[in-house]
Structure 1
Amino acid sequence: MDLAGKVAIVTGGASGLGRATVEAYVAKGAKVAIFDMNEANANEVIGNLGADNVGFWNVNVADESSVKEAVDGVVAKFGAVHICNNFAGIGSACKTLSKKGVHPMDDYMKVINVNLVGTFNVSRFAAEKMADNDPINSDGGRGVIINTASIAGMEGQVGQLAYSASKGGVIGMTLPMARDLASYGVRVNTIVPGLIHTPLFETIPEQAYKSLENSVCYPRRLGQPSEIAHLSVFIAENDYLNGECIRLDGAIRMQPR
C-alpha cells in the first residue's frame, strides 16, 4: 500500500505509541483520524501536523454508538478509511487472589472492555468502511487493520491477569479476523510490543528503569515509540503481510515477576 493520500484511524493517537504512529503516517502523506479521550493532547498533535492532515474524535472505544459515529465522521471528513491502528488500552495490577480477597470483577471487566472489546469494536466498523473502497492494488486490497497486543498476552506476570487476558484475546483474534476479511481485501496483523519507553517510565526510579533495561536480551534498552510506528508503516505498506502477530521486544521473555 502506498500511504500517500490514504486515510488512517489511530486509536490512542494523542500520546505514546499512537502519537508516534500518527506522525509516521503523516510523514508518508496519509491523513489521520485520532480516536482518543484526551482532547488537549490531540490538539497539540494537530497543531504540530496541521488540521488538514489530522482530525480528532472523542471516542470511547468500548461504546458501539461512539465508535460508529466517529468512523462515519472520518469518512465524511476524509472520504474513506484504509488503515486502522488500535493502540487504545489500559492496564491493571491485581492478583486472582490475594490478602485483599478475590480479583474485583469490575476491575477485570474494565480492562477487557477497553483492550479487547474496544479493539474488536473499532476494527469491525473500520472494516465495514474499508470494504466500500475501490481496490488500491492489483491484489484487490482495500485496507489493513493493525491491532496492538503485548508480550504480556503470551508471558503475563504476577498481577497482570486482566491485562494479559485482554491482550491474549487480541492475539487470538488476529488470524480469524484476517480470514473473515480476506474476501473483502482487508488484511489484519497484530503488533506485540515488549517494554516500550512511554511517558509512564519517566515516573519510575532510575534503579528500577535500569533493571528493566537489563532484562532485555538485545539491544539492552527499552524500545522507542518510533520503532513501533516504523513497524506500523511496514505492515501497512507490505501487501503480503497478513494474519501475523509480530513481537517487537528485543528478544525479552518475561519472568513471573
Structure 2
Amino acid sequence: MKIQGLSAIVTGGASGLGAATARALAEAGARVALLDLDGAAAQAEAVGGIGIACDVADAASAEAAIARAAEAHGPARILVNCAGIAPAARIVGRDGPASLEAFAKVIQVNLVGSFNLMRLVAAGAAGLDPLEGGERGVIVSTASIAAYEGQVGQAAYAASKAGIVGLTLPAARELAPLGIRVCAIAPGIFGTPMLLGLPQEVQDSLGAAVPFPARLGRPEEYADLVLAIVRNPMLNGETIRLDGALRMQAR
C-alpha cells in the first residue's frame, strides 16, 4: 500500500514508539491523527497532523476520537496500536495476592484497547473503495517479546501481549475478504521514555543483553518496520519479533 495521501491513526502517539511511528508516517505523506490519553501531549507531537485525547479502553471515547479523525482526514486506512501500560506486580507479593483490578486494567488497556480501535477502524475502512491490489486498510498492533518470554512480575503485561499475538491471525483471516491486512510487531527492549528514565548504567546493562546490535532498540526502528508492513501486501496475519535475537530470562 502506498502511504502518500492516506489517512492514518496512531494510538499512544504522544511519546515513544507511537510518536516515532506518527512522525515516520507523516514524513511518508500520510495524514496522521495521534490518539493519546494525554491529548495536549498528542497535539504537541502532531506535526502536520492532529492530536486527539482518547482512552483506548473506553468505547465511547474511541468512537468519538475516530469520528474526529475522520472529520479531519477522512476514514483511516492505516491504524497502528501503540497505546499500552506495563506495571510490574507479582501474582503473590509481600502484601498478599496481586490486585485483580490492576491485572484487569492492563488487559483492558493493552488488549481490549487494541481490539477497540481495530474494530472501529476496520469498520470504516471496509466502506472505502479498494486501492491497487484490492487493499482497503492495514492494521498493526504492538505485542512484545514478553508474550513469549514473560518475566517474573510481568504476568499481566505478558498475558495482554500474548493476547495481541493470538488476536492477529484470526483478525487477518476475518478481515481478508474486506481487503484489510492485520499484523503485529513484538519489540524487545526499546529506548522508550520508561526505559530512558532509568540510570545510564542500567540502560547499558539492558542493551548489552541483546546479542546484536548490543543496545536498546530505537523507536525509529519500530517505525521503519511499520512502514515496511504497510508497504508490503504479502505481510498479513504475522507477528514479527523486533529484538536483536534477544530471549528474555526469567528475571
Query: What range describes the TM-score normalised by the shorter chain of this pair?
Result: over 0.9
Counterparts of residues 1-257 of structure 1 (less than 5 Å) = 1-46=1-46, 49-50=47-48, 54-138=49-133, 140-257=134-251
Following superposition, the deviation at residue 188 of structure 1 comes to 0.1
In the TM superposition, residue 204 of structure 1 has moved relative to its aligned partner by 1.5
CA distance in 1, matches of 2:113, 2:72: 23
- Report the TM-score when normalising by structure 1: 0.95
More displaced, 70-79 or 176-185?
A: 70-79
Q: Any runs of at least 4 consecutive aligned residues in structure 1 with deviations exceeding 6 A, and if so which? A: none
Q: Distance in 1 between matches of 2:242 and 2:157?
A: 18
| Count of residues in correspondence between the two structures | 251
Which letter maps to 1:199?
A: P
Q: Point out where structure 2 has 5 or more consecutive residues left out of the alignment.
A: none
Q: Distance in 1 between matches of 2:198 and 2:24?
A: 28
5+ residue gaps, structure 1: none
CA shift, 1:45, in A, is: 1.6
SS at match of 1:33: strand
Residue 39 of structure 1, CA deviation: 2.6
Distance in 2 (alpha carbons) for counterparts of 1:14 and 1:45: 6
Amino acid at match of 1:95: R
Shift of 1:132: 0.9
Q: CA deviation at 1:55?
A: 1.2
CA distance in 2, matches of 1:199, 1:149: 18
Following superposition, the deviation at residue 174 of structure 1 comes to 0.4
Shift of 1:14: 1.1
Q: Deviations over 1:179-199 (max 9, x none)?
A: 110110000000100000012
Q: CA deviation at 1:137?
A: 1.1
1:118-147 Cα deviation digits (max 9, x unpaired): 000010000001101101112x11000000
Q: Which has the larger displacement, 227-236 or 31-40?
A: 31-40
**Aligned residue type for 2:33:** A
In the aligned structure 2, how far is the partner of 1:204 from the partner of 1:64?
A: 34
Q: SS where residue 227 of structure 2 aligns?
A: helix
- Cα distance between partner residues in 2 of 1:98 and 1:223: 31
